[in-house]
Amino acid sequence: MAVLGLGAMGGSLARALSVLEPGVRVVGWSPREEERRAALDVGAVAAAPSDWQEAVAEADLVVLAAPLSASCDLFAGVAEATSSGATLSDVASLKAPVARAATSAGAEARWVGSHPMTGSEESGFAASRADLYEGARVWTVAHPAAEDRVPRVQSLWRALRARPESIDADEHDRLMALASHLPQLTSNALAAVLREGGVLPTRLGPGGADMTRLAASGSAMWRDIFEHASPELVAGLRALAREAAKVADLVEAGDLDGVEELMNATRAWSRPE
Amino acid sequence: MAVLGLGAMGGSLARALSVLEPGVRVVGWSPREEERRAALDVGAVAAAPSDWQEAVAEADLVVLAAPLSASCDLFAGVAEATSSGATLSDVASLKAPVARAATSAGAEARWVGSHPMTGSEESGFAASRADLYEGARVWTVAHPAAEDRVPRVQSLWRALRARPESIDADEHDRLMALASHLPQLTSNALAAVLREGGVLPTRLGPGGADMTRLAASGSAMWRDIFEHASPELVAGLRALAREAAKVADLVEAGDLDGVEELMNATRAWSRPE
């Protein structure tokens, strides 16, 4: 197997694979020499050549673990550098752009995309850990022509104790706009308000700390994602703006029944019977 | 010592005090018989009489651990039922309303209010735990006439490994509007948008789950708090609405530099050098 990208996601994947029984030989690659060396030093990879062509040459499964746009950019080259028997996967947070890259590389029959819903607000190999995928939902996306390769990729995730589930690429991306991208930007928006209000992060309790944890996320990965943002994200942000204004009106008017109704509704949503 | 209220806050306080060395004799009271029995059963309290007058009679420190309005309502009676040497404290999330209750009971020289910034989205004695206060910031508020009683109350919190810090009541309540109440309602607003969008809580990743955890909080405690909401909370909610709309505009316009600028600013805020 080859893992291209040894940051928090790829590094964690290599670490987890390296302790699997029966073993999988993992060749890793990162554009950053210190990450290749670190991955070798801790035994996360068996080899870490400085060019990715060498890393993928013998692999029968290649996982692109670079940021979204880099994964898309690498796709055609990786498809070309590998045999037609090799399965290609990735761990990017959006699936439609990767599906398009697979199709334009003529490799849609070899691609089974993955999106593990886990990660870290930290980045780089230093933020990787062998148990990152344990218990995580992993969405898998495949063109009908690649259906026969889905079990292999899903088994791999199951071996890492993740929970794979198939989904359509567009449906996945629409769902993520609300389930992942909106919570991220809500955290940023809240943090911006607290910052503007002169509240130091050290003054927050555990609730406020949870609500602003994502605001520490690096912008580079997200920039990529927002470039391909679904219209659902914009609609979700506008709905949040309306909801916040509505709550402001309720609190200002002293309409405690209205606030209680909102709280009861969201509690019921978060704790379904 | 007496603890009035044996929910998540009071129950945790009694549990933590019961394992302190040297020991403190804690008498607990709750309006709910099953909570009094549960606290006795686990040894969190030495006694749990069914009326609070009996619970406070011999105490030289009484902590009101009822919801905010109930703590205010109990104040005058507790002041009357205790000797002038007894110190009165509370753990309510707002301090100005309790300060007013202390003053109207003529007991401002005996009151050192506390607000531990910890808790649970669960409530009741079942949600209490002995380590709830470990590491938590605890704001203490006192009238100048009660300054000599502050060390006793702060020492108690330190014995539970919490981090007490003095603050003015009004300043505390203004800070909490942004640091605590705004994050709570942001979580509710986000959850309302996800609910409306048909996103199930089980589809969220760890980030989305963190951002909606507070949306499961019970409304009863919060209703009390919002009744005394600072104007800063309304202003904060309106600022959040503007910020969310601004981010929607940026994403819609494909202004990725603008999104990145926001993310970098909030990251810098949350990770000060």
Q: Which residues of A touch B205 (CB under 8 A)?
A: 117-119, 136-137, 179-180
* pLDDT at residue A154 tops 90: yes
Give me the mean pLDDT over the A206-213 stretch. Answer: 95
Tens-digit pLDDT profile for residues B153-187 = 999 999 999 999 999 999 999 999 999 999 999 99
CA A92 – CA A113 distance, rounded (Å): 8
CB neighbours of A107 closer than 8 A, spacing ≥ 6?
A75, A76, A79, A88
Is the distance from CB of B65 to CB of B10 less than 8 angstroms? yes
B13 shares its domain with B107? yes
- At B273 the pLDDT is 66
Interface of A with B in 40-79 (CB under 8 A): none
* pLDDT at residue A31 tops 70: yes
Residue B119 — very low, low, confident or very high, per pLDDT cuts 50/70/90? confident
CB neighbours of A155 closer than 8 A, spacing ≥ 6?
none
Neighbours of A58 (CB within 10 A): 14
Cβ A179–B186 below 8 Å, yes or no?
no
A92 shares its domain with A156? yes
Three-state helix/strand/coil letters over chain B: CEEECCCHHHHHHHHHHHCCCCCCCCEEECCCHHHHHHHHHCCCCCECCCCHHHHHCCCCEEEECCCHHHHHHHHHHHHHHCCCCCEEEECCCCCHHHHHHHHHCCCCCCEEEEEECCCCCCCCHHHCCCCCCCCCEEEEEECHHHHHHHHHHHHHHHHCCCEEEECCHHHHHHHHHHHHHHHHHHHHHHHHHHHHCCCCHHHCCHHHHHHHHHHHCCHHHHHHHHHCCCHHHHHHHHHHHHHHHHHHHHHHCCCHHHHHHHHHHHHHHHCCC
B21 shares its domain with B119? yes
**CB pairs below 8 Å between A and B: how many?**
285
> CB distance from A163 to chain B under 8 Å?
no
Residue B272 — very low, low, confident or very high, per pLDDT cuts 50/70/90? confident
A142 shares its domain with A33? yes
Cβ A210–B210 below 8 Å, yes or no?
yes
Mutation test of the interface with chain B: which of A243, A255, A256, choosing the one with the most B Cβ atoms within 10 A?
A243
B96 shares its domain with B223? no
Which residue segment(s) compose the domain that A17 sits in? 2-167
A155 shares its domain with A177? no
* pLDDT at residue B11 tops 80: yes
Cβ A191–B216 below 8 Å, yes or no?
no
Residue B71 — very low, low, confident or very high, per pLDDT cuts 50/70/90? very high
A106 shares its domain with A126? yes
- At A273 the pLDDT is 65
The two structure tokens encoding residue A155? 């088994």
* pLDDT at residue B146 tops 90: yes
- More reliable by pLDDT, B219 or B147: B147
B7 shares its domain with B108? yes
Tracing tokens 């006795």 back to the chain, one arrives at B40
* pLDDT at residue A119 tops 90: no
Pick from A137, A167, A197: which residue ends a domain? A167
Residue of B nearest to A212 (CA): B270
* pLDDT at residue B261 tops 90: yes
Percentage of chain A exceeding pLDDT 70:
100
Number of domains present in the structure of chain A: 2
* pLDDT at residue A272 tops 80: no
Give me the mean pLDDT over the B109-137 stretch. Answer: 93
Residue of B nearest to A136 (CA): B205
Give me the mean pLDDT over the A153-167 stretch. Answer: 97
Residue B229 — very low, low, confident or very high, per pLDDT cuts 50/70/90? confident
> CB distance from B208 to chain A under 8 Å?
yes
Neighbours of B166 (CB within 10 A): 13
A139 shares its domain with A17? yes
Query: Which of A226, A239, A254 is opposite residue B193, by nearest beta carbon?
Result: A239
Interface of B with A in 80-139 (CB under 8 A): 117-119, 136-137
- At B21 the pLDDT is 84
Give me the mean pLDDT over the B45-59 stretch. Answer: 96
Pick from A167, A183, A218: which residue ends a domain? A167
A145 shares its domain with A261? no
Percentage of chain B exceeding pLDDT 90:
91
- At B218 the pLDDT is 86
A30 shares its domain with A103? yes
A100 shares its domain with A11? yes
Query: Which of B206, B236, B263 is opposite residue A118, by nearest beta carbon?
Result: B206
CATH of the domain at B64: 3.40.50.720
Give me the mean pLDDT over the A238-261 stretch. Answer: 97
CATH of the domain at B196: 1.10.3660.10
Q: Which residues of A touch B184 (CB under 8 A)?
A: 207
Query: Which of B117, B204, B237 is opposite residue A248, by nearest beta carbon?
Result: B237
* pLDDT at residue A218 tops 90: no
Cβ A186–B211 below 8 Å, yes or no?
yes
Cβ B245–A222 below 8 Å, yes or no?
no
Q: What does the mean pLDDT of chain B come to?
A: 95
* pLDDT at residue B249 tops 90: yes
Pick from A167, A197, A218: which residue ends a domain? A167
> CB distance from B273 to chain A under 8 Å?
no
